[in-house]
Amino acid sequence: MSSRLLFILLTVIAGFTGLSRHSQAEKPPVPAAKQAILIAHPLGIVLLAKNPDTPMAPSSMTKIMTVLIVIEAIKSGRLKAAAKVKITRTMLRTRGSRLRPKRGTRISVKSLLAATIVGSANDAAKALAIHLAGSEAAFADRMTARAKSLGLQKSRFSNATGFNADGHQMSARDVARLAGFLIDKHPKYYALFGKRSAKIGKKTLRNRNPVLGAVSGADGIKTGQTRKGGYGLAASARRGAIRLILVINGLKSAKARRAEAKRLLEWGFRHLQR
């Protein structure tokens, strides 16, 4: 066991000892979200949970898997970050948050990846999926297969963007585990999730993650919102040796999502840092 991991373990143990001593002073909060999980990473210790294994509509949290598939293709050499993707009519057939490039323009894989991560651009995610797999449906099959290989038992994908579709689902626990995998295995690309904005050509896309700049140590990762799923968020923050990963979903507004994320992350750090 590495010294860093041992330190984290001792910190977490101390935190739980402190939690026991102070349980009457501050009980663990009851999540307001329909689904929630808060994990001390990388040990995988669950600090609190609410319906963590219930299949849910992950909305744009789906794009964490989309991004992972693209990253792994780049790192394996099957895809070049500098390669130019010709934007087709099919790639532009989407709605919601978008980069809105003109049909026929060519955009690098690197730029499309940044637009997907920072701006949650649905057209960028779709363009990457079609470019890599030939169709979004084929790409979704790859996403499902990769989820299975990672042991994400409740994850099934129908698209690369997170739009509601029959059979398109993840659980809060699956989202948290996927986020942890990306953080550990691809730290260079994970850093993109912490960027507050990204300039793609003449357009500037803003990151909607509400904990960036609002919670000390917050460095990613992805919001999500659809009518079926409500307002959701996968968030991670690190203070010293402690990293927390939070997933919440099913909230009624962006304001409620922001408040819930701050409340649960701050609670987690207070108890692990006693």
CA dist 130 and 147 (Å) reads 19
Asked about 60 being catalytic, the answer comes back as yes
What ranges in the chain are assigned the alpha helix state H?
A: 3-21, 63-76, 89-92, 109-118, 122-133, 136-149, 172-185, 187-190, 254-272
Cis preceding-peptide flag for 42 (omega within 30 of 0): yes
The residue from 34, 63, 154, 222 that is catalytic is 63
Instruction: State the catalytic residue, choosing from 59, 97, 111, 120.
Output: 120
Is 63 a known active-site residue? Answer: yes
| Measured distance CA(123)–CA(33) in Å, rounded | 29
Distance CA 187, CA 145 (A): 23
φ, ψ at 153 (rounded to 5°): -75, -25
Q: Is 120 a catalytic residue?
A: yes
List, by residue number, the catalytic residues: 60, 63, 120
